[in-house]
């Protein structure tokens, strides 16, 4: 996350001192990524070393002010112009977890999906509640309007991101159900839910690629009564 | 919230469609209570029983067993007349495909349930105009459904569901046919109606819309398998991010 460029962007509006930069950074982003003042000064020192900011006097209260340089402005413009790289994705714990849960003996992948879905949807509920507040703030205008708009954008980014995750989880589940109808059934399980009370059996998932000898064994996903269609929307 | 009496109670609800080899257990033991001021979203894959649950809650379908209590009335034992009155007065129902009457204007569509309930035509029109105004549709009051966009028709349908201060609003995929902006405004309306004291149940498979609810209930194969409740206090975002 680019604190460096964030600070340059704030300095483009005029000289500022360290704790002021921290406050402005946080009100822009709704404290989504809290900074400590130490991080701000470390970053300012590096920017100064690289010739992108320069110390320029003090304000009335005696705070040391920093100003953006020409080199800093050029760097800022380049940052705005250049897309954020998405081609070398960061390691994603959830993707790794689901990849490992396919056929894992100790867990039913559907339980992993559901517990993540619960968490993700709850996060969306909380973001959406904050978003409703941000909308009210933006609509009522006022002095902080620019900060409120920025915060709204950040919140909506979080909502879109969690939404993508929730959709992906639905998709994983639907795909596993579809695959389970074409793959060999899971190892025979006497405890397969006959009339599936919530059908959250701890038996290995039907996507378990382990060859199973009994083709007539009920498939724990597909034999639950009311579930007729294959989970498509 | 829980000290109040629920507006809607579903108790051990089951619904079996067909019989014998073609028997489908659409609902299998649903328990759910929805309180004044609460918006509950019901999520689940296609065929999990969402619409069945909602039509039964709205008195449009009858359960195979179990009880449905709206305010103080058990609608599974109510007379046809009681049920009709309850549906006109207390329950607002929003269908995915709007279900507006094509030969009536927006205002007439919204006024209809009030008139059926014995309100004078004049008063019903005043109420209808107020409800349309609330949806930002005051200027379209005299248009016919085929002269309005999908989003506008859906908002008329919502005005019809909300007119006359209904305490229970049931919406089945109300955003299904809408673009995301309009869908969001529909949700904001539902939300504000619940904030004003109504109880709402929203069926949706869109997490973005479900996220407007206080509680999200997950349906699988006719049973509630899980649920989530949003944070009560104004939670600090930074706290959540750190946890994530
Ligand atoms: N009138 C009906 N006759 C037979 N089966 C039905 C009828 N209505 C719904 N079903 C079945 O009941 C199950 C639940 O349906 P529904 O409540 O419409 O699910 P959802 O709204 O979640 O997609 C499905 O398997 C569906 O096929
Ligand atoms: Mg449905």
Domain ranges for chain B, please list them.
Answer: 1-87+202-229
Report pLDDT for B234: 53
Query: CB distance from B2 to chain A under 8 Å?
Result: no
Give bridge partners of residue B32 from the DSSP assignment.
Answer: B10
Asked if B157 and B100 touch (Cβ cutoff 8 Å), the reply is yes
Neighbours of B193 (CB within 10 A): 22
Report pLDDT for B8: 97
pLDDT at A226 over 80: no
What's the mean per-residue pLDDT of chain B?
A: 88
Residue whose C-alpha is closest to residue A32's, from A12, A50, A6:
A6
Q: Span B1-87+202-229: which CATH code?
A: 3.40.50.300
Q: What would the pLDDT profile of B178-221 be if each residue is shown by its tens digit?
A: 788 878 888 888 898 899 999 999 999 889 999 999 999 999 99
Write down the pTM of the prediction. 0.78
CA of A229 to the centre of ligand 2 (A): 12
Which residues of chain B are within 8 Å of residue A196 when distances are taken between CB atoms?
Answer: 221
Query: CB distance from B101 to chain A under 8 Å?
Result: no
pLDDT at A140 over 90: no
Give bridge partners of residue B91 from the DSSP assignment.
Answer: B168
Q: B18: Cβ below 6 Å to ligand 1?
A: yes
Q: What would the pLDDT profile of B48-58 be if each residue is shown by its tens digit?
A: 999 999 999 99
pLDDT at B85 over 80: yes
Burial A157-193 (b: 16+ CB within 10 A, else e): ebbeebbebbebbbebbbebbeebeeebbbeebeebb
Report pLDDT for B3: 67
Report pLDDT for B2: 53
Number of H helices, E strands in chain A: 7, 2
Which residues of chain A are within 8 Å of residue B45 when distances are taken between CB atoms?
Answer: 170, 173-174, 227, 229, 231-233
3-state class of A160 per DSSP?
helix
Asked if A202 and A97 touch (Cβ cutoff 8 Å), the reply is no
Query: CB distance from B16 to chain A under 8 Å?
Result: no
Task: Please state, in angstroms and rounded to a whole number, the distance separating the CA atoms of residues A148 and A154.
Answer: 10
Q: What would the pLDDT profile of A32-72 be if each residue is shown by its tens digit?
A: 888 888 999 999 999 999 999 999 888 888 899 999 999 99
């Amino acid at each position: 996350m680019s604190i460096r460029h964030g600070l340059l962007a704030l300095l483009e509006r005029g000289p500022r001192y360290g704790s002021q930069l921290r406050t402005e950074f946080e009100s822009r982003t709704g404290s989504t990524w809290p900074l400590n003042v130490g991080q701000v000064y470390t970053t300012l020192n590096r920017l100064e070393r690289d010739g992108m900011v320069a110390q320029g006097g003090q304000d009335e209260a005696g705070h040391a002010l920093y100003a953006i340089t020409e080199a800093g402005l050029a760097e800022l413009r380049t940052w705005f112009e250049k897309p954020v790289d998405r081609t070398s994705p960061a390691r994603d714990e959830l993707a790794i977890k689901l990849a490992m849960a396919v056929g894992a003996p100790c867990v039913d992948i559907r339980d992993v999906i559901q517990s993540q879905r619960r968490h993700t949807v709850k996060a969306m509920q909380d973001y959406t509640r904050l978003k409703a507040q941000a909308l009210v703030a933006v609509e009522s205008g006022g002095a902080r309007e620019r900060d409120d708009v920025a915060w709204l954008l950040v919140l909506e980014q979080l909502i879109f991101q969690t939404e993508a995750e929730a959709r992906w989880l639905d998709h994983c589940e639907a795909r596993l159900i579809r695959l389970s109808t074409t793959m060999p059934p899971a190892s025979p399980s006497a405890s397969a839910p006959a009339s599936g009370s919530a059908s959250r059996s701890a038996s290995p998932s039907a996507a378990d690629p382990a060859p199973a000898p009994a083709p007539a064994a009920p498939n724990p996903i597909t034999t639950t009564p009311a579930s007729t269609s294959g989970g498509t929307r | 919230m829980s000290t109040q009496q629920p507006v809607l109670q579903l108790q051990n609800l089951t619904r079996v469609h067909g019989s014998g080899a073609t028997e489908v257990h659409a609902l299998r033991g649903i328990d759910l209570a929805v309180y004044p001021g609460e918006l509950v979203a019901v999520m689940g894959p296609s065929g999990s029983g969402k619409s069945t649950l909602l039509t039964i809650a709205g008195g449009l379908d009858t359960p195979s067993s179990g009880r449905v209590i709206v305010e103080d009335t058990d609608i599974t034992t109510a007379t046809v007349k009681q049920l009709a009155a309850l549906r006109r007065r207390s329950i607002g129902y929003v269908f995915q495909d709007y279900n507006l009457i094509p030969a009536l204007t927006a205002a007439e569509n919204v006024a209809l349930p009030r008139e059926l309930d014995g309100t004078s035509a004049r008063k019903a029109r005043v109420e209808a105009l107020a409800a349309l105004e609330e949806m930002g549709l005051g200027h379209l009051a005299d248009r016919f459904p085929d002269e309005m966009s999908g989003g506008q028709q859906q908002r008329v349908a919502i005005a019809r569901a909300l007119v006359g201060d209904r305490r229970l609003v049931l919406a089945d995929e109300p955003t299904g046919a809408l673009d995301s902006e309009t869908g969001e405004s529909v949700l904001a309306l539902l939300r504000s109606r619940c904030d004003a004291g109504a109880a709402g149940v929203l069926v949706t498979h869109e997490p973005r819309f479900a996220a407007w609810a206080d509680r999200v209930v997950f349906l699988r194969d006719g049973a509630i398998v899980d649920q989530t409740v949003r944070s009560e206090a104004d939670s600090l975002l930074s706290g959540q991010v750190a946890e994530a």
